Amino acid sequence: MIIEHNHVVAVSYILHTIEEDGSKILVEETTPENPLTFLYGVGMMIPKFEQNILGLKAGDKAAFTILPEEAYGEKQDDAITQLPIEMFNESGIPPVGVILPLSDNQGNNFQAFVVEVTPEAVVVDLNHPMAGKVLDFQVEILSTRPATEEELAHGHAHGVDGTEAH
């Protein structure tokens, strides 16, 4: 069975970023025992990732790169901002390198990477951690099957076999 829209797909993959000097840095690796399982075609994955595996079937392997503009975009210099140090009176001042979960006035959640702490502010980078990165994937399709009505209603996969762990 080949991958189509509204299929549940299980993949194992190795993800590297390709640096400007051509070197590769390992970002993430999944295994057949702990695959990435997702509902194809509902916006859960980078569209270019889905385009690269469309039509594949269990056992197929693929290797492809995704450019920043087709993934998480270019790094935006204006996405660096300062949060007043007073915001952290109750929770404590976060150290450099921590990822802070934040939300805006409309309730949208996002993450900020702490790049500097001064006496007046916590300086954060609001860019996605993979912004500006070339992504290099090695993928193996482990399985694909039509999604159940319940999975389609919920908008996500309920595991490789369609049963959600509780």
The tens digit of pLDDT for each residue in 23-32 reads 999 999 999 9
Looking at the 3D structure of the chain, how many domains does it have? 2
Examine the domain organization and report whether 101 and 59 are in the same domain. no
CB 147 within 8 A of CB 156: no
Residue 164 lies in a domain: no
pTM for the complete prediction? 0.80
Examine the domain organization and report whether 64 and 137 are in the same domain. yes
The tens digit of pLDDT for each residue in 116-152 reads 999 999 999 999 889 999 999 999 999 999 999 999 9
The domain in which residue 13 lies consists of: 7-72+131-154
Structure tokens at 105: 């006035």
Residue 166 lies in a domain: no
Of 138, 130, 88, 92, residue with least CA distance to 111: 130
Examine the domain organization and report whether 120 and 137 are in the same domain. no
CB 146 within 8 A of CB 5: no
